[in-house]
Amino acid sequence: STLKDAFQKKFLIGTALNAPQIMGRDSATMQVVKTHFNSIVAENIMKSGMLQPREGDFRFDLADQFVEFGEENNMRIHGHTLVWHSQAPRWFFTDEEGNEVSPELLTERMRKHIYTVVERYKGRVHSWDVVNEAILDDGNYRNSKFYQILGKDFIKLAFQFAHEADPDAELYYNDFSMSQPGKREGVVKMVKELQEQGIQIDGIGMQGHISLEHPEIEEFEKSIQAFSELGVQVMVTELDLSVLPSPWNRDAGANISDNVDYQNKMNPYPDGLPDSVEEAFDDRYLEFFKLFIKYEDEISRVTLWGVNDSNSWKNGWPIRGRTDYPLLFDRENKAKPIVEKLIRVA
């Protein structure tokens, strides 16, 4: 059996692809993608800095190939991401004189970027992360360039433009730390405001960058409930499970570079995961998937942030050079024991 077949009646099982896979340089990984997944998202190549590195200079080669692969394999294609403060090109926020853009010019640039990208894939890309990571853990708006220049209206504008460009596309808000009570409340408030203004928003993506300790699953569940009560779909996006110690203790406000103990743990498992860690890894994934199954009517898609451990961003984040084991397939593209366990609980 396969993951996508096992979960077919519950939710889509997605994965993220990068340039090497899309360009056909990694056929072993692509075989796993075709076997186990029925939805794809681009991990990087549809971000604004990649699609429009210079003003008006759109680069669609890789994105086109990504969309073609999804269509050839009958996959649900998700677009990530239209408006995000990170991996956005610098020119976006600067005018011809090198000054900060005016609200009018930034609005025009957002409109042009969103129209060009969304119209190109109209009817082919099913859904878009229209805005990514606009709210902080405490529920306040992130003080990004978009927010500094346009205030919170940049969110509304982005959703409007995306809807105008493809009225049939599903439009989502996506963010991390969604289990934090402050962020949960901030997102609920923001979505309600959009709904009250008649703006179409179809779903909320909860990034699932979890670790063995964080977050508390009860808090994650509360957010699934709170978001689905808004009448929108809930997606678990960007799921991966780090087995390495967290570099900081957010609550204590500790700084990553002060954490000497962490620095010494770049590759604590050179011979692979010890049984005890693998057991904790399996239990943690199972616990989360059981929660997703409990909310199968609310959750429409669960997307892993990558296919195998060798192509996971977790090896390079939050600091470079770690060796992590966050995904469902190992560095040789072999299914880990967790895959069979997930298929059994589905």
Q: Does 44 bind ligand XIL (CB under 6 A)?
A: yes
* Orientation angle between helical segments 153-165 and 103-120, nearest 10 degrees: 30
Number of residues that bind ligand XIL (CB under 6 A): 7
Give the separation between CA 185 and CA 140, rounded to whole angstroms. Answer: 10
- Of residues 10 and 145, the one with the C-beta less far from ligand XIL: 145
Min dist. Cβ of residue 242 to ligand XIL (A): 12
Residues whose CB falls within 8 Å of the CB of residue 241, separated by 6 or more in sequence, listed in order: 210, 211, 212, 281, 284, 285, 326
- Of residues 101 and 205, the one with the C-beta less far from ligand XIL: 205
Q: x/- binding map, residues 288-317, to ligand XIL, per CB under 6 A?
A: -------------------------x----
Give the separation between CA 335 and CA 342, rounded to whole angstroms. Answer: 11
Phi, psi of 32 (to 5 degrees): -65, -40
The single-letter DSSP state of residue 135 is B
Enumerate residues 133-172 that contact ligand XIL by CB under 6 A.
none
Q: Does 211 bind ligand XIL (CB under 6 A)?
A: no
Q: Give the helix/strand (H/E) hosting 245.
A: none
Beta strands in the chain (DSSP E): 12-17, 39-42, 76-83, 127-132, 170-175, 203-211, 233-242, 299-304
Which residue number has the CB closest to ligand XIL? Answer: 313
CB-facing half-sphere around the CA of 287: CA atoms within 13 A: 18
What residues are annotated to the active site?
238
Q: Does 73 bind ligand XIL (CB under 6 A)?
A: no
Distances in whole angstroms, Cα of residue 5 to Cα of each of 29, 38, 122, 295: 18, 9, 28, 18
Among 29, 39, 132, 300, binds ligand XIL (CB under 6 A): 132
Min dist. Cβ of residue 123 to ligand XIL (A): 24
Min dist. Cβ of residue 176 to ligand XIL (A): 6
Q: Does 43 bind ligand XIL (CB under 6 A)?
A: yes
Enumerate residues 84-123 that contact ligand XIL by CB under 6 A.
none
Positions that interact with ligand XIL (CB under 6 A) = 43-44, 132, 176, 207, 238, 313
